[in-house]
Amino acid sequence: MASSSSRTPLLPRLLKALVVSLVAVAASHVVLSDTLRLSLMGQAAAALGEAPGYSSDQAFTAAVVNTLLTMPLVLWPGMLISGERRVGPMVLVGTVSWQVAVWSGIDALGEAPGVLLPLPSLALVVAVTALAAVLRRK
């Protein structure tokens, strides 16, 4: 009889973490891109003399906050739905690595709507986050 604390073998856990990390990065990037688009629209409206009802600074701040909230809100339930437990280290590493990737590539995103963060940066976040799944909090 298997106990409720049995551990998933390393390779299946890593594959689940890879899929969930990929989805989390994609979702976070969509949220970041869309909310940064609002910031650009606010700047354009302000330049034309039309007030959009919010400042571009507010939209930029919302973009950063929303994308930092999206990452853990996708990672945690994603791993729980896949049957994994004790995912705290993975969520922490994923959120911090995403924050670093965003701050290092935010200049490229701020110039035009629809621009992606550098692909090597995105791949590194997915890889580091998935590898963090092998760490299990006791």
Spans of all domains in the chain = 10-134
Q: Where is pLDDT greater, at 61 or 46?
A: 61
Q: Which of 75, 91, 85, 77 is nearest to 4 (CA)?
A: 85
pLDDT per position as a tens digit, 112-134: 666 788 899 999 999 999 999 98
pTM of the model: 0.81
Average pLDDT over residues 44-54: 64
Q: Where is pLDDT greater, at 31 or 6?
A: 31
Q: What is the pLDDT of residue 1?
A: 40
Average pLDDT over residues 14-35: 91
Going by C-beta distance under 8 Å and a sequence separation of 6 or more, which residues neighbour residue 114? 33, 37
CB atoms within 10 A of CB 80: 12
Q: Does the pLDDT at position 90 exceed 90?
A: yes
Q: Does the pLDDT at position 38 exceed 80?
A: no
The tokens for 30 are 């969509």
Q: Where is pLDDT greater, at 28 or 56?
A: 28
Mean pLDDT of the chain: 82
Looking at the chain, how many residues does it have? 138
